[in-house]
Amino acid sequence: MSEGSSSPGAEAVAPPEEAADPLVGKVIADRYRVDERLGVGGMGAVYRAEHVLMKKSVAVKVLHREMTVLDEVVKRFEREAIAAGRIEHPNVTVATDFGKLDDGSFYLVLEYVAGRSLTQALTEGPMPVERALFIARQVAAGLGAAHAAGIVHRDLKPDNIMLIERGGTKDFVKVLDFGIAKVSAEAEGGSQLTRLGSVFGTPAYMAPEQAAGKSVDQRADLYALGLVTHEMLAGKPTFEAEEVMGLLAKQLTEPAPPLPDTVDPGAAALVARLLEKDPDARFRSAEELIAAIDSLVGPAAPSLDGTVIGVPSLRGGTAAISATVVDGLAAPARQRTLSAPGQPTSSLLQAASRSLRIGGRDVPYWLLGGAGAALLAAAIGLGRGHGTPHSAAPAPPELGPVIARAEVGDRAAIAQLSARPEASRTAAEWMAIGKGDAHLSAYASSIEAFRNALRLDPALAEDREMLGDVRRAVDDDAAQKQALDVAAGSLGSPGADILFDVWASTTEKNQTTALAKSLLEREDVLAHASKALKVALDLRRASRCDELKKLIVEAKENADERAVRRLTQLSSRKGCGFLGLGDCFSCLRQDDSLGDALKAAQARKAPKF
C-alpha cells in the first residue's frame, strides 16, 4: 500500500485519464520519464516529466498524433519552439529541447513551473494596486525580451501568466505559451507564417487590430497586458459577452469600463493608455511601460532583468508621476475609431471559445486562417449599390461605431452605410464599405467603394489595409481588372508598387501580369513611381555598361529589395562567351560600386501587401 493510502487497493487504482494515457510512466526521447499528465486540449497534452540523468523536472508538450497531418498545426508548434528557445529572460519560461517521438508526434520540452496561474489568483478578487503593478511590470519585462527578439506573443492572458515563489517573493512571474507567437521574418530567417487577414486568439484578450485580422506588433501585447491589469484591479474581465462576436465587437468599439474609485488615478490612467483602441496612442514599447510603472511605484520595483525584491509601494498617486508618464495618461482615455493595422491568438490547451472537430478532437478556430477571418466577419453581422461619391464632409459622430463594425465585415453595418444617400456618404464610409466587402471576399464591390473613397480623399491612398485589399483583389477573377485600374489611376506611388508586385512576383506570364506590366509602363503611372521602383525598372531594361554604371550609382542611394535580383545577375562573372564561362559585365568590376549597391538594396525592404 502506498504511503498515505486510506483503503486497501488504493495504491493499485490510478486516475482514469492517466491510466488511459500510454505516455505516463514511459521514457521518451531516451531521457524524459513522463510522471503525470498536467492537462490535455484539442491539439496536444502537457506532462510533468523528469530528465532521467539530470534528475530535473521539466514540462513536456506533446502534439496529438492526428494533429501532425495538419501542416499549419505542426508549423505553429515548431514556431513555439523557435520563440521559446530564443527568449532568455527570468520572466519567460525557457525551452530546452524539441523533437519527434517514434510514433511521429512532436514534443517540446520547457522549464517546469510549479506555481499557480494568474487566473487562479484572480478568483480571490481584486488586487491592491501595488501588487497588480508589480505583476504587470514583470510581464512587461518578459514581453520586452520577446519583442527585442522579434517575437510578438499574441496570446497574453491570465492563463498564460504563472505566479511562483522565488527568492522569498510569492508573485514572481513566468510568461508561458508562445504557441501562436508571431516571429518576424528577419528573426526567423525566412518568410512569416501569418498572413494578413488571419484571425487567431482568445477574444477576451485580443487587441482591436487583432480582432480585425490585421497586422500586429508589440503594441498588441501591451493592449492585452492592459486588459490583464484592468482585470487584476477590477476583479473581473474587462469585456464580457455570451458570444464570441459580442466580445470582438466590444474590443473594436467600446471603451473599457472605469476602474473602481479606490484605484489610484495614476494607475487608472496608465491602464487607460494601454487600452487605447488606436495602437499609436498606447505605450510604444514594454520599456516605455516599465518606465511609467516605475514612476508610480517605489524603488523596490523589479529591475529590467526580472530580479524582484518584494512588492513595491505606491508613490503617492499622480503627483509623483514623471512628465513623460503624465502625457496622455491623466486625462480620460481618448476614444478613436480603429483604422490602423493589427492581427490575433490561441492556446495549446484552451481553444478560443469556438472550435472545429477534426479527427474527433476540438481544434481552435485559428486553424481556419484567412478563411476563418472571413467566416468571423460574416458571423458578426449586406449592402451594395456603391455609386458615385459626393460628400467630403466628416462622417456624423454617431456613425463611428457603425464604420468600425463595417470595416471588419459586419454585414448589418455595411448595409446601414450603403443605405445612406450616396450624396451624403463620406470618404470614411466608402472606405469602411470597401474594407468590409474585402473581408467578405466581395472584391468587385470593394474596389468600387475604394475608388469612390479615393475620389473624395486622395490621401487615403496611403492606407495600408486598403492597399492590401486591392492587391488581393487582383487575384480575384471578377475584380482583377478593376483592381489594376484603381492601382494605376487612383493610388499614385503605392499603386505603381502594386503593379510591379503583380508583374514581378511570379515567373508565370499570363494575362494578369501582362496587363500589370502594360499599366506600369504608362507615363502617368511612372510619373508617380518611387525612386526605388524606378531604379528597379531601369536596371531591368538597361544592358549597356554606360547605362548600368549610372544606374548602379543611383541604386546605392535609392534601390530596395526589388533591385536585388538584377544586381545579383550583374554580379555574376559567368554567362557569356565560350560555354557561357565569360564575364558579361567585366566593365563593372573596376571598383566596389556594384557590391555596395547590392548590399544597400538588400538592406532596404520593398513595400509589402
Please tell me the predicted confidence (pLDDT) of residue 520: 93
Which pairs with CB-CB distance under 8 Å and at least 24 residues apart come from 188-194?
A: 188/82, 188/150, 193/75, 193/76, 193/79, 194/343
For 39, the grid coordinates are: 492537462
Within 13 Å of residue 481, how many CA atoms lie on the same side as its CB? Answer: 2
Q: pLDDT at position 521, please?
A: 92
The residue among 128, 536, 419 whose CA lies nearest residue 297 is 128
The pLDDT, as a whole number, for residue 246 is: 80
Tell me the pLDDT tens digit for each residue of 167-223: 777 899 999 877 565 655 444 444 444 433 344 568 889 898 888 877 788 999 999
Domain 116-326 in the same topology as domain 12-111: no
Residue 329 has pLDDT above 60, yes or no: no
pLDDT value for 40: 80
- pLDDT at position 224, please? 95
Three-state SS for 555-583 is HHHHCCHHHHHHHHHHHCCCCECHHHCEC
Nearest residue to 192 via CA among 284, 97, 88, 76: 76
Scored b (16 or more CB within 10 A) or e, 211-241 reads bbbbbbbbbbbbbbbbbbbbbbbbeebbbeb
% the chain with pLDDT above 90: 45
Q: Which of 266, 274, 260 is nearest to 315 (CA)?
A: 266
CA distances from 128 to 135, 308, 435, 499 (A): 11, 18, 43, 56
In the prediction, which pLDDT does 185 show? 42
User: Grid coordinates representing 345?
Assistant: 491568438
Task: Quote the pTM value.
Answer: 0.52
For residue 157, the model assigns a pLDDT of 93
Supply the DSSP symbol for 92: B
Alpha-carbon Rg for the chain, nearest whole angstrom, is 28
CB contact set of 13 (below 8 Å; sequence gap of 6+): none
Choose among 263, 259, 264, 287: nearest CA to 275. Answer: 259
CA-CA distance, 445 to 553, in Å (whole number)? 44
Q: What is the pLDDT at residue 13? A: 37
Name the residue with higher pLDDT: 185 or 586.
586
3-state helix, strand, coil in the chain (%, to 5): 50, 10, 40
- pLDDT tens sequence across 277-326: 999 999 999 999 999 998 888 544 444 344 444 555 665 443 333 323 33
Residue 77: φ, ψ to 5° = -65, -45
Residue 405 has pLDDT above 80, yes or no: yes
Whether 490 has a pLDDT exceeding 90, the answer reads: yes
Cβ atoms 100, 115 nearer than 8 A = no
Say if residues 32 and 51 touch (Cβ distance below 8 Å): yes
Q: What is the CATH number of domain 116-326?
A: 1.10.510.10
Which phi and psi (to 5°) does residue 86 adopt?
-90, -25
Q: Give mean pLDDT, residues 581-590.
A: 84
Phi, psi of 40 (to 5 degrees): -140, 145
Q: Which residues pair with 45 in a beta bridge?
A: 40, 62
Count helices and strands in the chain by DSSP H and E runs: 25, 13
Confidence of residue 583 (pLDDT cuts 50, 70, 90): confident
| Axis crossing angle, helix 492-504 with helix 464-473, rounded to the nearest 10 | 40
Which numeric CATH code is attached to 12-111? 3.30.200.20
Q: Looking at 30, 102, 155, 485, which residue is catalytic?
A: 155
Q: What is the pLDDT of residues 498-537, one digit of tens each?
A: 999 999 877 777 889 999 999 999 999 999 999 999 999 9
At residue 394, the pLDDT reads: 67
- Give the model's pLDDT for residue 132: 96
Calculate mean pLDDT across residues 260-272: 93
- Cell readout for 335 is 476614444
Mean per-residue pLDDT of the chain: 78
Q: Are 439 and 252 in contact (CB under 8 A)?
A: no
Q: Under 8 Å CB-to-CB from 259, ≥6 apart: which residues?
A: 230, 233, 234, 267, 268, 271
Report the range out of 25-39, 298-312, 377-391, 399-413 with the highest average pLDDT: 25-39
For residue 94, give the 3-state DSSP assignment: coil
Mapping DSSP onto H, E and C, the string for 249-316 reads HHHHHCCCCCCCCCCCHHHHHHHHHHCCCCHHHCCCCHHHHHHHHHHHECCCCCCCCCCCCCCCCECC
The H-or-E segment that residue 523 falls in is helix 523-526
C-alpha cell at 291: 518606465
- Give the side-chain half-sphere CA count within 13 A for 214: 29
Domain boundaries, the chain: 12-111, 116-326, 384-529, 543-603
Residue 155 annotated in active site: yes
Q: How many angstroms separate the CA atoms of 123 and 126, rounded? A: 9
Percentage of the chain beyond pLDDT 70 is 76
